[in-house]
């Protein structure tokens, strides 16, 4: 049964882009409802320490997520913790179907972000939650005093490694080449930690364990082809993300990597539908650029609703 209220804006995702869109919508006198799968914050909510969000020299991702969520609600945004199952973006009003019912909205801002990319190697699926993790801040404490691998060479991998170096006895950063995508400052910081060791030009070939947990990871040297086993209790996979755009692929234009095609005004190819944050085609995916998208998307939605 559809709710009687028809919101001006339905916001899918309650990370920095979604929360900012709700703040701008509320201040412009528009009604909005945000949908989040689990808890507020998206990827930001599971990031350990954030040092590049202006005004907050060092803040926990979860804390920043709760502050943004509170601010959005303070401006009148509603929120529902329920997974969006399908959307009808072409009807009028548009319909967002969730695990807790249908919601009618005049416009939609898609701010669903991205999910972790899997390695697709033997043992990954089998040991998920038993040594294979995609979130250092969520699971790091289970590896206190243990040796772990962080796989990846981007900002997430380095933030994870730095976070885990305070908990684990040893952290190996395994990366498939010699150069990193991560910021130079993070790489320098990690290099200064005695218990962080780099294993470069290496990919994960297999994750092995006993009947209960991971006990080792087999690596393959990308230059020599040589294989070696690293004894460890866990592996944190941080090899990038995949946009959560499956629900929209039949009606919205996506780029080859699956990101929703939209410019800085966040307008998509469907009238009244906007894409904001990590899910949008863009160069720099950061909290601050996600927030900027949220503001632009709400502004554009407001203009579109006035027509």
Distance CA 299, CA 216 (A): 51
- The reply to whether 234 sits near ligand NAP by the rule CB under 6 A is no
Neighbours of 155 (CB within 10 A): 19
CB of 301 to ligand NAP, least distance (A): 25
- Which of positions 155-174 make contact with ligand NAP (CB under 6 A)? 155-157, 159
Residue 291 falls in the annotated catalytic set? no
Residue 139 falls in the annotated catalytic set? yes
CB-neighbour burial class of residue 253 (10 A; exposed 0-12, middle 13-18, buried 19+)? middle
- The reply to whether 267 sits near ligand NAP by the rule CB under 6 A is no
Q: Which stretch binds ligand NAP (CB under 6 A): 32-40, 64-72, 146-154, 226-234?
A: 146-154
- Given 8, 135, 291, 293, the catalytic residue: 135
Specify the pairing of strand 241-243 against strand 114-116. Answer: antiparallel
Concatenating the DSSP letter of every residue in 120-189 gives --TTTTTTBTTTEES-HHHHGGGGTT-EEEEE-SSHHHHHHHHHHTTTSSEEEEE-SSSS-SS-HHHHHH
Residue 221 falls in the annotated catalytic set? no
Per-residue binder mask for ligand NAP (CB under 6 A), 61-90, x = binder: ------------------------------
CB of 40 to ligand NAP, least distance (A): 17
Active site amino acids: 135, 138-139
Where does this chain bind ligand NAP (CB under 6 A)? Answer: 47, 50, 52, 117, 119, 152-157, 159, 176-177, 181, 203, 238-241, 285-287
């Amino acid at each position: 049964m559809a709710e009687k209220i028809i919101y001006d804006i339905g916001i899918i995702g309650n990370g920095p882009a979604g929360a900012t869109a709700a703040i701008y919508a509320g201040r412009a006198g528009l009604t909005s409802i945000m949908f989040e799968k689990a808890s507020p914050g998206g990827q930001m909510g599971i990031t350990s320490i954030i040092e590049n969000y202006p005004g907050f020299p060092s803040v926990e991702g979860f804390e920043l997520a709760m502050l943004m969520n509170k601010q959005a609600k303070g401006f009148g945004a509603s929120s529902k913790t329920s997974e969006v199952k399908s959307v009808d973006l072409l009807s009028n009003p548009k319909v967002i179907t969730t695990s807790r019912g249908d919601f009618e909205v005049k416009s939609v801002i898609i701010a669903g972000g991205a999910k972790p990319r899997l390695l697709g190697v033997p043992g990954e699926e089998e040991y998920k939650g038993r040594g294979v993790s995609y979130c250092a801040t969520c699971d790091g404490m289970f590896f206190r005093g243990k040796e772990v691998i962080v796989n990846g060479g981007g900002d997430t991998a380095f933030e994870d490694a730095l976070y885990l170096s305070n908990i684990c006895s040893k952290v190996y950063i395994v990366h498939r080449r010699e150069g990193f995508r991560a910021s130079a400052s993070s790489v320098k910081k990690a290099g200064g930690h005695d218990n962080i060791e780099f294993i470069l030009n290496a990919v994960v070939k297999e994750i092995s364990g006993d009947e209960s947990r991971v006990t080792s990871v087999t690596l393959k040297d990308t230059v020599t082809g040589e294989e070696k086993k690293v004894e460890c209790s866990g592996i944190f996979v941080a090899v990038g993300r995949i946009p959560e755009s499956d629900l929209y692929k039949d009606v919205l234009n996506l780029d080859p990597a699956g990101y929703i095609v939209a410019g800085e005004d966040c307008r998509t190819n469907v009238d009244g539908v906007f894409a904001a944050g990590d899910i949008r085609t863009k160069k720099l995916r950061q909290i601050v650029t996600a927030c900027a998208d949220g503001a632009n998307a709400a502004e554009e939605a407001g203009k579109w609703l006035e027509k």
